[in-house]
Every structure is written in C-alpha cells, then in structure tokens.
Amino acid sequence: MNENLSEHTRNILGLQLPTDPRWVNLAEMQLEDILTDHAYCEQKAATTCISLIQKNPDKELMVEELSPIVTEEWGHFRMVLAELKKRNLRLGKQRKDVYVNKLIDFQKKGGSPMERFLDQMLIMALIEARSCERFKRLSEGLDDAYMRGFYRKFMESEAGHYTLFITLAEHYIDKKTVRQRWAEWLEYEKELMNSQEVRGDRIH
C-alpha cells in the first residue's frame, strides 16, 4: 500500500482507512458498472442537497451555500452520462447502496432536531470525503490516461465539498460538539470499510 497516499488521506480527508488498492483494478474491469454507479452517486448528491434546503429553509447560510452544489452535482451527473454515451455504454439500474445505508444506520434516531441535523450534515461530509478519496485512487491508478484525467477533474472539483458540510454544521452547532461527533463518524466508517467486500462495480 502507498503509505504517502495513506498519510495524505488521513491529513486531508480525515479518513481512517484508505481504499484497498485492489479496488482500482476491479473498477477498471467493470467500467460500465462503475460509471453507472458514479452517475447515480452524483444524482443522489444533488437531490440530497435539494432535500436539505427544503427541510431547512430557515438556515439561510446553508441554503445559500448548497444551492450551487446542487447545480454542480447535477452537472457531474450529466458529464458521466455523456461519457457512458460516448463509449456506447448504457446507464444501468440504480443499485442498493449498502455503504450509504450502513451510514444511515449510524444516524441518531430520535434526539433533538439539531442532533438530527448534525448527523445529516456529517453523513454528507463523510460520503463526499470517501468519494473524493476514491476519485483520487482512480486518477492515479487507472491504466487509461484519459480516464485518469477524467477522474482527476472530479477529484479536484469535489475536494472541498466535505469541508463545506462540516463548516456549515459548525455555523449552527457548537464546534466542540461537531468535532466530537465527527470523530465518532470517522471511527464507525473505518469499521464499515473493514467489513465491506471489495467490489469494482461501485464507487463506495
């Protein structure tokens, strides 16, 4: 395993466990599947931001900051669709996202509205962080130079998204509370990644 990448991952994204290096090789062999899954990930990112805006119209800064993210993520969805079409590949069916569903299981059930809001923001931060780390893997490990550049663009574009969600959480909630809960999320995600099968047909 590339220890420099591992250190980079911890320092920049806070993730406790780098992606298994075998994942890139598996993804390269299942390009239609990985592009399909990537497209749906971008679509879900856009619709989740829309949902957050709809549920929290009183949080003006959040509404202002997430509005352009909706446009950006939907643009990414269209970019992946175009790549599929260019390669005469098709957008397959959306699969059950085991990774995201397991993260949702860790969200606090009940509790105050603010506690639920915090977990919603941190789960988005974590998904964005892991996605960015996966894009970095693809941008460095794929044999196809064009596809390395393709995923480099996504990595650079989305690199700041996870910090935005944490910053927004800290705008509305005590910073210490946010950081404590974020540490819990990171530890949970490490165990989740350890327990998941390494598959090349999905981004997460």
60 within a domain of the structure (yes/no): yes
Record the pTM.
Answer: 0.91
pLDDT at 13: 63
123 within a domain of the structure (yes/no): yes
Query: What is d(CA 195, CA 189) in angstroms, rounded to the nearest whole number?
Result: 10
* Dihedral angle of Cα 134, 67, 96, 196, to the nearest 10 degrees: 30
1 within a domain of the structure (yes/no): no
203 within a domain of the structure (yes/no): no
- Residue at token pair 């059930």: 109
16 within a domain of the structure (yes/no): no
Burial class (CB in 10 A: 0-12, 13-18, 19+), 37: buried
pLDDT at 109: 85
74 within a domain of the structure (yes/no): yes
- List the structure tokens of 53: 């805006």
Query: What is d(CA 83, CA 68) in angstroms, rounded to the nearest whole number?
Result: 23
pLDDT at 32: 94
pLDDT at 10: 45
3 within a domain of the structure (yes/no): no
- pLDDT tens, per residue, the chain with 204 residues: 333 434 444 445 689 988 998 999 999 999 999 999 999 999 999 999 999 999 999 999 999 999 999 999 999 999 999 999 999 999 989 988 899 999 999 998 888 999 999 999 999 999 999 999 999 999 999 999 999 999 999 998 888 898 999 999 999 999 999 999 999 999 999 999 999 988 889 999
Task: Give the domain range for residue 59.
Answer: 25-93+103-195
The count of domains in the chain is 1
Work out the mean pLDDT of the chain and round it to a whole number. Answer: 91
pLDDT at 147: 96
4 within a domain of the structure (yes/no): no
Alpha helices in the chain (DSSP H): 3-8, 22-29, 31-55, 60-86, 98-106, 113-141, 145-158, 161-172, 175-195
CATH code, 43: 1.20.1260.10
